[in-house]
Amino acid sequence: MFSQAMERTVAELTAPAKGILAADESAGTIEKRFKSVDVASTEENRRSYRELLFTAPKLGDYISGVILFEETLKQKSEAGIALPQVLAAQGIVPGIKVDKGAQALANFPGDKATQGLQGLAERLAGYKELGARFAKWRAVITIGDGLPSTRAIEVNADSLARYAAICQELGIVPIVEPEVLMDGNHGIERCAGVTEEVLETVFHALHRHRVQLEYMLLKPNMVLPGKDCPQQATAEEVAAATLICFRRTVPAAVPGIHFLSGGQSDEAATANLNAMNTYAQKQPWALSFSYGRALQAPALKAWHGMAANREAAQQALLKRARLNSAARQGKYTASMEAG
């Protein structure tokens, strides 16, 4: 019933040389980020900051979609225009984060399960009326001693699949986000093994729930060593390990893989994406980005809550968006950072 609308949304989100800006920080997360630049996390400050991001001149040249938090979806610009309409005017597709966060999984210490399925269909219908054309649900998987458990992987995969099925029934494109966290001192081989198991389980669950792969997008982690691992990996090593893992697990029917940055530095997230797009063999999916902090951090530092810094903050955002656009095409070089 909604296949044509979802096909159009997917085509716009996977447009060449573009990626997705994740601006869906929860109240707690954005409070921490604002605190780092001595800005109070008030509703007006959050609105002002996000309007600053969304109105950056020609942002739509590099950004195809923006994931919003529920509060932002309902807010208006200083001129009284709904923020989803502000994005649409830039040629950017508005989306919405719909999960309710992760909680401890009973009887499985250290594992978490994402909440939010109750009432999801009704919430999605309301979000669609406000302009959201795609959604996002994040599941978090921790690597550690005895972690993750098979049960945690199965529970999160099933929730992702149920969420995706509900989205597609309403004509909303689901972004499926199974994130294997960087926390820990594990090596890249351990991350590869866990990521492969997670993706296999997720796609089996999507199949069981009759999710149409052509009308969804994947937002996964890259295959990386833990951030405390003494042996870090080069961009080329990350690209090789990631693409081996994804060729084994992600069907070619999936239109796009929009990687999350997951705690990487701005430059590392860009360099790793670039390495994947310069890899020798052609991939069946678009390899793009859906970054939050790795796109926003320079803008937030430049802004500091001051209206006078608006243009400088927008230029900082545009620079990172432009560099990730280049990486999306395999055209990024480290020398561009100084430009």
Q: Which of 18, 97, 136, 219 is catalytic?
A: 219
**Contact indicator for 293, 315 with CB cutoff of 8 Å:** no
**Contact indicator for 177, 116 with CB cutoff of 8 Å:** no
Q: What is the DSSP letter of 18?
A: -
Round to whole Å and give the CA distance between 217 and 173: 8
Q: Which of 177, 179, 197, 319 is catalytic?
A: 177
Helix and strand numbers, DSSP H then E, in the chain: 12, 10
Sequence-separated (6 or more) residues with CB below 8 Å from residue 75 = 47, 50, 82, 83
219 is catalytic: yes
Residue pointed to by tokens 């430059």: 267
Closest CA to 117 of 235, 46, 209: 209
331 is catalytic: no
Cβ-based neighbour number of residue 231 at 10 Å: 9
Closest CA to 225 of 238, 210, 207, 212: 238
In DSSP notation, 268-299 reads HHHHHHHHHHT-SSPPSSEEEEEESHHHHHHH
- Residues with catalytic function: 177, 219
